[in-house]
Amino acid sequence: MAEIKRYDNRLGIWGWLGGGRWGVERYSYILHRITGLGILFYFLLHIVVTSLRAKGIYLWAGRGFLHQPIFEFGEYLVFAAFAYHACNGIRLVLVELGFAVGKPIEPVYPYKTSLNVQRPLLVCMMILTLVFLAAGGYSALTK
Amino acid sequence: MPETSKALQPINFHITRYNPETDSAPCVKTYIIPVREGMTVLDGLHYIKDNLDSTLAWRYSCRMGICGSCGMLLNGRPGLACNTQILHIADANLTVAPLPNFEIIRDLVPDLWTMFDKHLSVKPYIFRADEAEINDPAGEFYQSPEQLESYLQFTYCIKCGCCMAACPTLATDVRYLGPMPLTAAQRYNADTRDEGRRERNALTGASTGALRCHYAGECSRACPKGVDPARALQLLKRRLVLDYLHLARRATPCKKLLGPGQGKLLPDIAAAPKRTVEPGEKPQAGVVR
Amino acid sequence: MNGTKYWTWHMAAGVVILFLLGLHMLIMHLGATTHWFAPYNGESVSVQNSLFRDGTLFFTVTYVLLLGVALYHGLYGLRTMLFELTLKPAIEKTITVVLVVVGLGLFGLGTWAAVAAHGIALAGARG
């Protein structure tokens, strides 16, 4: 039989960002990845900058190079990213180790899935994130 | 019972068409069809094929949500065409596309073999160390209702591929096993009659196994049978970690019942009727059964 | 089961970072008001307060520990994201090697800096 020509229908990166309508868990997964990348990028620079203290260079102290509004705002963004990534990370550790997904049940329509079981945990973590964001924002603005 | 309206409403069906012999890429064609309340997407496709365009190709079989053949992307969400009513998801426009994350053979027909190959690779059957016992069983396995409930939900999978289409990891990672095969692996791992967990762990615990799941939850939202693959995958991950840390509880082997009268008799079960033919005895000639 | 092994350590590292980085954030951002590990006046990140912390063994050790787990957690996460793009095996191997080299390199740099700063702080305190 002759080989039928196939068309590769993978969504690609668009599949990460969207390809249909999603639930809140998918948005939280996307944001978890974005904040992770942001924190990693900052962290790699942070290691180099803070290692300069061994040579007596303190770029972050007093009137150092890093005391410019753009860097201060960037610092708040990193703090915000960490607050979200950490709170969502706690939720993921609990869920991915099977603690917050509930026991298998006989499916009866309308179906209630593990997403319904972990939704209260997601809401709590998001509230906690907002509390940290507010506390960090207050601390940054009143510095 | 409320009266269903018999009024016809024109709905635009924007269907992805692709003929591998003439097209280089899929394109969208629009058909306007009269839709009555209660019509499913499958009914709409049949109308198109019967009246508007007989070249339209798609898979279907049972038309009642049990065979899993008619999985499609309906208004951006994977679902079964046979159990999705048009007017439930569309007011005037309905987009029908083949399931993403699979190659398209033609029109709305995806190539599901990658999914089936991955499914086969996780050994989706009761696996016992003693093969002779499987081929020549000496008795039946006893399984309590609680033991059954620990995996029953995952047996409802109809292999439609909607979860695979919804998964964000499968959008870019071809080698990821995917929600359906991993749910099948968990279904057998949790079955007390099975002894193949360690063999399956080699595949499900590899980097392209369950660990590529990041709980986006789209698989459970897309599943038309309430199988909840997301739950199965997290339970699978839990067991993988416990096995790695050697903290898994030793599984009690499934009891075998070697004859009648060994199981726990449930209350209110009527006694069996008296035998009419004793073992070894031939039935009397001319007796009507 | 290598995948499971690395992933389990990734999760464990995440939990460790939660506590250590949380403490780091508290000290750096609230130190001016609470004076936790920042006994000198002014910002918690001032030169004097930084030298104070660098001079304590607790901070030197926890800085190195936080550096190690954070590098592992972050770079393994990046590797996971990149490997989900269905790359050729040769490219995947290259990515692994590059990330291991970068990780070990930055760990070495950070550890050297922490130990050197510890020495400088102690010398300054004595002299």
Residues of chain C contacting residue B242, judged by C-beta atoms under 8 Å apart:
none
Q: Label residue B275 by pLDDT band (50, 70, 90).
A: confident
Q: Which residues are within 8 A (CB) of A11 and not within 5 positions of it... i.e. 6 or more apart? A: A19, B100, B101, B171, B172
What's the start-to-end Cα distance of chain B, in Å? 44
Cβ–Cβ pairs < 8 A, chains A and B: 150
The answer to whether the Cβ–Cβ distance between B211 and C7 falls below 8 Å is yes
* CA–CA separation, B157 and B172 (whole Å): 24
A95, pLDDT greater than 80:
yes
Dist. CA B27–CA B19, nearest whole Å: 10
Beta-carbon separation of C84 and B201 below 8 A? no
Domain C2-126: which CATH class?
mainly alpha
Paired sense of beta strands B93-97 and B104-106, if any? unpaired
Length reported for chain C: 127
Percent of chain C surpassing pLDDT 90: 67
Question: Chain A contact for C68, CB < 8 A?
Answer: no
Q: Which of B3-7, B260-264, C118-122 has the highest mean pLDDT?
A: C118-122
Confidence of residue B287 (pLDDT cuts 50, 70, 90): low
Q: Which pLDDT value is given to residue C104?
A: 97
d(C-alpha B59, C-alpha B83), whole Å: 14
pLDDT at B192 over 60: yes
Mean pLDDT of the residues in chain B: 91
Domains of chain A with CATH codes? 23-141 (1.20.1300)
Position B237 scores a pLDDT of 96
Distance between CA B29 and CA B16 in Å, rounded?
A: 6
Predicted confidence band at C1 (pLDDT cuts at 50, 70, 90)?
Answer: confident
* Mean pLDDT of all residues in B223-251: 93
Minimum mean pLDDT range among A79-88, B216-225, B277-286, C68-77: B277-286
Contact at CB, A53 and C78, closer than 8 angstroms = no
pLDDT for B1 equals: 64
Q: Do A25 and B217 touch (CB under 8 A)?
A: yes
Tell me whether residues C112 and A140 touch, CB distance under 8 A. no
The per-residue pLDDT for range B173-190, each reduced to its tens digit, is 999 999 999 999 999 999
B85 neighbors B78 (Cβ within 8 angstroms) = no
pLDDT exceeds cutoff 80 at B257: no
- pLDDT value of residue B270: 82
**Predicted pLDDT at C78:** 97
- Can you give the C-alpha Rg of chain A in angstroms? 22
Q: Does A10 touch chain B (CB under 8 A)?
A: yes
The answer to whether B149 contacts A105, with C-beta atoms less than 8 Å apart, is yes
Q: Which pLDDT score, from 0 to 100, does residue B213 have?
A: 96
| Identity of the residue numbered B40 | T
The pLDDT of residue A18: 62
Q: What is the pLDDT of residue C36?
A: 75
pLDDT reported for residue A15: 67
What pLDDT, in 10s, does the model give residues C36-48?
A: 777 777 777 888 8
User: In 3-state terms, what secondary structure has residue B257?
Assistant: strand
Q: Please determine, for residue C23, whether its predicted confidence score (pLDDT) is greater than 60.
A: yes
**Does C33 have pLDDT greater than 70?**
no
CB–CB contact B207 C83 (8 Å): yes
What's the pLDDT score for residue A139? Answer: 82
Choose from C78, C80, C102 for mutation: most chain A CBs within 10 A.
Answer: C78
Can you give the residue ranges of every domain in chain C?
2-126
Spell out the SS3 assignment of B84-109: CEHHHHCCCEEEEECCCCCCEEECCE
Chain B residues within an 8 Å CB radius of A97: 234, 237-238, 241
Confidence of residue B53 (pLDDT cuts 50, 70, 90): very high
- d(CA C65, CA C12) in angstroms, rounded, equals 13
Confidence of residue B268 (pLDDT cuts 50, 70, 90): confident
pLDDT at position A17, please? Answer: 62
pLDDT at C52: 86
Give pLDDT, residue A51.
93
What letter does residue B40 receive in the DSSP assignment?
B
Window 22-51 of A, Cβ < 8 Å to C: 33, 36-37, 39-40, 43-44, 47-48, 50-51
Q: Which pLDDT value is given to residue B136?
A: 80
In the stretch 119-178 of chain B, residues with CB closer than 8 A to chain A read: 149-154, 156, 166, 168, 170-172, 174
Phi and psi, residue C113, nearest 5°: -65, -40
Mutate to test the interface with C, among A11, A60, A87 (most CBs of C within 10 A): A60
pLDDT at B102 over 60: yes
Contact residues, chain B, for A6 at CB < 8 Å: 20, 103-105, 111
Nearest to residue B207, comparing CAs of A35, A32, C86, C98? C86
> What does the block give as tokens for B130?
């003693």
pLDDT at B134: 79
Handedness of CA B99, B104, B106, B109 (dihedral sign): negative
Of B151, B218, B234, the CB nearest to A26: B218
| Identity of the highest mean pLDDT range in C37-46, C50-59, C101-110 | C101-110
Q: Give the pLDDT score at A20.
A: 52
Residue B252: is its pLDDT beyond 80?
A: no
Give the containing element (helix H, strand E) for A83: helix A69-96
At B139-185, the pLDDT tens digits run: 788 888 999 999 999 999 999 999 999 999 999 999 999 999 999 99
- Answer yes or no: is pLDDT of B36 > 70: yes
B23 has a pLDDT exceeding 60: yes
pLDDT over 90 (residue A143): no
**Terminal C-alpha separation, chain A:** 74
What pLDDT score does C32 carry?
63
Q: What is the ipTM of this complex?
A: 0.90
A19, pLDDT greater than 70: no
B210, pLDDT greater than 60: yes
pLDDT for res C116: 93
Structural domains in chain B, sorted by start: 8-110 (3.10.20.30), 113-244 (1.10.1060.10)
